[in-house]
Amino acid sequence: MAELVDEMEELAEAVSESTRALVAQSPEGVGWKALLELGWFELAGEDPRLATGVLGEELGRAALASRALDAAVVHALEQAGAPVVAEQSHAVLYPLPSSPGAGQLFADGSAELDGLFLGGVEPGDKILAFVTDPAGQPAVVRLAPVEPSEVAGLDGADARVRAGRLTGRSAAVLDRLAPEHARLALRTARRALAYQLVGAAEECLRIAVTHVSERHQFGRPIGSYQAVKHRLADVRVAIAAARSVLAGSWDESDQTELTVLVATSLAKKAVQTAVAHGLQVCGGMGFTEEFPLAPLVRRAQFFAPFLGSAAELGMETARLLKACGTAPRISGFGTP
Amino acid sequence: MASQEVDAPNVLEWLRAHSDTLQDCNPRRTDSLDDRIDRSLEFFARLDAAGLTGWGWPAESGGRGGSAELRAELYDAITAAGFGMPEQVGALEVLGSALVAHNPGIASRYLPELLAGRALWCQGFSEPEAGSDLASLRTRAVRDGQGWRITGQKVWTSLGHRSNWCGVLARTGAPDSRHRGLTLFWVDLQAAGVDVRPLLTLTGEEEFSEVFLDGVYVPSDHMIGPVDGGWGVAMDLLQYERGMWAWQRQAIMHSTLSGLIAELDESDALTASIVAEAYISLTALRMRCRETVKRLAAGERLGPEVSIDKILLGQTEHLVNDAVRAVRERGFAIGDSAEARTERAEWFYSRAATVYGGAAEVQRNIVAERVLGLPREAARG
């Protein structure tokens, strides 16, 4: 047992190292090909929790552009028997903020699209899109390839995320995935996002802890003041909360959807808490562009409403609780 | 893993199957405190007769063996089957682990009677002048022949007036010895020189007591741990207070929140978001405590990071009880029913969660200084 634990820790460390190296070498972002070369999909096949967690956290810390969400979605779909192949580069079209889908599907099979790609689209990418079906239900469809020229760059909130917007009527819906695959795709994307947010929150906290330990005012480090300490302690607590539920979300359970929803809420809260307190305790320094907080704050802003704002995730949680008729006990000991 | 070592019974199944016949000893939340205690004792007696208590406690200390995870499973099962949490559980979890680790002889004598529903324990740590700053306590123990005489005053001793035994932390070193001169004693509350006076709390119940000790004799085999080693024992025990105590509280709060869901109108976005926020925090608490309980059960020694569990507990207690108030606003404000009284009492009790066992501010200092490594305040000793 102890040996197994040691081996798992060694593997986790090796994966972290190679992921960190990849992130460090990829200032323009981590594309599909880089993930294939890293062996990410094989690792995800063996240990999806480790693969998703390490990649997400490292990307989050670096506030880098990537195709990590797309890769996680396609990998999970392939494992579940949906008609996608991870060998093939895929780009996923996500809903715009405050929108239930990245487009509307009509009864004649056509679709009007308006959604976001993350991390850039390459020529020849297979396309998946989160859309709303004619009955108003969420669905995931496969679309014909999109020319990169059709995708408008979005540099507004966070240029480093390399988001692109695809707008317009498209008749080229190839097919629609099964409803359980559509749900799997959404929770997989949310969980991969949650790891990036946890990584970003950790990095904010690291920067803030370093700053308040070094910065002196009134003859002492400002981190010795309780008012400062308690803010950063709250960041540590918020991150720990998100981490624990994320870890629990990989358990065999019939409540995975709810658990991932809760984990996503907690990760969003963690990064917002980290940004709010980080900006405050880093004072005037933190307000300059050269200080390392800026890209993380922008990333947190960009992702705040992505795949559901805190308020939307809360309402979705309330609806699921109502449907359960109870407050489910996620993952206990022994018999559920 | 636990169930591989021992053949522990499925408590949840048994409780569900015997739910009807156990209702007369269900410590319901709407009962008075004294009724809850009476029923809790009877509830444990029936569980014990069915061979269901004692799992997760070492056999050599009077338990039935198996991993400590089995205890966590029991508390979840009790509340999941619709029963109130027996009143013994809090002190059992806090003191039981200390007894087992530091005085198995005492544990094997007294654990079985608690598990059989014949006794109640309490914790004598806090004093009027020593709350979060526990190391400043003044209750003194001096040697007297083969034993000790204890004199002093304890306060905020939960269920003190109904308890048989109290774990008393007393000073055996010099007055200024701080944490280095403390010893934990197992004190018989029926002994001469003990005076227990219940205190009326904001919950409307006499939930805790003042315990006055005037030269109370304690034999030397009733020490829990070595002389002047009380701080180490207390720190050991606080891991359980922050881990397993928080776990049994989350079990209770899942029942509380479940009771609200049927009444929840999801089209009322304001209330729905309050309930959702409470559930989200409660799930975080559950998952965090599960990790902690697993580590405790594996024999790991936990560090200052258990203060995170305590902070999550306090935050969640507030959110869950605020959610009850939001959903049942009118009853909470003006209701006279037993249910409304209970909800108000529980709301008040939830406010204590950021105070007992080391106030939330102290927990944040611990996380900041000992987890994050921030500089200590110069003025603090």
Q: What is the CATH number for B42?
A: 1.10.540
Are B277 and B367 contained in the same domain?
Answer: yes
Distance from CA of A223 to the nearest CA of B (A): 6
Tell me: the pLDDT tens digits for A140-164? 999 999 988 999 999 887 989 999 9
Q: Is the pLDDT of residue A165 over 70?
A: yes
> Strand A90-95 and strand A126-132: pairing?
parallel
CA dist B321 and B344 (Å) reads 9
Residue B224 falls inside a structural domain: yes
The residue type of A30 is V
What percent of chain A has pLDDT above 70? 98
How many domains are there within chain B?
A: 3
CB contact A314 to B (< 8 Å): yes
Specify whether domain A84-177 bears CATH 2.40.110.
yes
d(CA A277, CA A231): 6
Q: What's the length of chain B?
A: 381
How would you label A310-320 residue by residue, b for 16+ Cβ within 10 Å and e otherwise? beebbbbbbeb
Q: Do B223 and B128 sit in the same domain of this protein?
A: yes
- Does B335 lie in the same domain as B270? yes
Q: Which residues of chain B have pLDDT under 50?
A: 1-4, 380-381
Question: What ipTM was predicted for this assembly?
Answer: 0.96
d(CA A31, CA B168): 62
Q: What is the CATH number of the domain that holds B159?
A: 2.40.110.10
Place A168 in a pLDDT band, splitting at 50, 70 and 90.
Answer: confident
Distance from C-alpha of A327 to C-alpha of B13, rounded to nearest angstrom: 20
Whether residues B237 and B357 share a domain: the answer is yes
Beta pairing partners, A142: A128, A175
Query: In angstroms, rounded to a whole number, what is the distance separating the alpha carbons of residues B100 and B61?
Result: 6
Q: Examine residue B378 and state whether it is found in any structural domain, yes or no.
A: no
- For an interface test with A, the pick among B5, B257, B280 (most A C-beta atoms closer than 10 Å) comes out as B280
Considering B52, B86, B119, which residue would you say is the last residue of a domain? B119
Chain A residues with beta carbon closer than 8 angstroms to that of B287: 244-245, 247-248, 330-331
- Domain ranges within chain A, ordered by starting residue: 1-82, 84-177, 181-324
Note the CATH number of domain A181-324. 1.20.140.10
B55 in the same domain as B135: no
Estimate to the nearest angstrom the gap between the alpha carbon of A149 and the chain centroid: 26
Residues B53 and B152 occupy one common structural domain: no
Amino acid at A145: P
Chain B: residue whose CA lies nearest to A226 = B365
Q: 3-state DSSP call for residue B41?
A: helix
Tokens of B66: 């198996």
- Whether the CA torsion B270, B274, B277, B279 is positive or negative: it is negative
> Domain holding B334: CATH number?
1.20.140.10
On whether the CB atoms of residues B328 and B320 are closer than 8 A, the answer is no
Report CA-CA distances (Å) from A254 to A35, A87, A251, A319. Answer: 30, 30, 9, 16
Cα angle A228, A229, A230; round to 5: 95
Query: How far apart are alpha carbons B377 and B381 in whole angstroms?
Result: 9
Residue with tokens 């562009």: A289
CA separation for the pair A204, A274 (Å, rounded): 6
Q: Is B135 on the interface with A (CB under 8 A)?
A: no
Give the end of a domain, one of B53, B88, B119.
B119
Locate the DSSP E strands across chain A.
90-95, 103-105, 111-117, 126-132, 138-143, 152-154, 163-170, 173-176, 216-217, 220-221
Residues B203 and B288 in one domain: no
A1 pLDDT higher than 70: no
- Residue B241: active-site member: yes
**Binary contact (A332, B284; C-beta < 8 A):** no
Residue ending a domain, among B99, B119, B139, is B119
Cα–chain center distance at B6: 26
Q: DSSP assignment, residue A334?
A: S
Q: Is the pLDDT of residue A278 over 50?
A: yes
Strands B121-124 and B165-171: parallel
Task: Answer yes or no: is pLDDT of A336 > 50.
Answer: no
pLDDT at B2: 43
Q: Which of A237, A243, A320 to mutate to test the interface with B (most CBs of B within 10 A)?
A: A237
d(CA A93, CA A285): 37
User: Are B131 and B112 contained in the same domain?
Assistant: no
Cβ-based neighbours of B268, under 8 Å, separated by 6 or more: none
Q: In B298-359, where does DSSP find H-type helix?
A: 306-327, 329-334, 338-352
Q: Are B365 and B336 contained in the same domain?
A: yes
In a domain, B198, yes or no: yes
Amino acid at B4: Q
Query: Domain span at residue B174?
Result: 122-228
Q: Nearest CA to CA, how far is B94 from chain A (Å)?
A: 20
Strand partners, B199: B208
B346-364 tens-digit pLDDT: 999 999 999 998 899 999 9
In single-letter form, the type of residue at position B241 comes to E
Burial of B375 (0-12, 13-18, 19+ CB in 10 A): middle
- Tell me how far apart the alpha carbons of residues B182 and B55 are, in angstroms, rounded to a whole number: 32
pLDDT at B205: 92
Whole-Å CA distances, B83 to B12, B16, B23, B46, B120: 11, 10, 8, 13, 19
Q: How many Cβ atoms from other residues are within 10 Å of residue B330's Cβ?
A: 8
Instruction: Please identify among residues 206-235 of chain B the ones whose CB lies closer than 8 Å to any CB of chain A.
Output: none
Shared-domain flag, residues B26 and B77: yes
Q: Which two tokens stand for residue A121?
A: 């689209």
Co-location of B45 and B104 in the same domain: yes
Identify the pLDDT of residue B5.
Answer: 60
Do the Cβ atoms of B64 and B55 come closer than 8 Å? yes
Place of tokens 């405590």: B289
Length of chain A: 336
Catalytic residue among B207, B241, B317, B346: B241
Among partner residues A233, A244, A315, which is closest to B273 by beta-carbon distance?
A: A315
Is the pLDDT at A54 greater than 80, yes or no?
Answer: yes
- Looking at the complex, does the CB of residue B378 fall below 8 Å from at least one CB of chain A? yes
Query: Is B48 among the domain residues?
Result: yes
- Is the CB of A332 inside 8 Å of chain B's CB atoms? yes
Sequence-distant (≥ 6) Cβ neighbours of residue B143 within 8 angstroms:
none
Domain check: are B241 and B364 in the same one?
A: yes
Mean pLDDT (whole number) for A185-211: 98
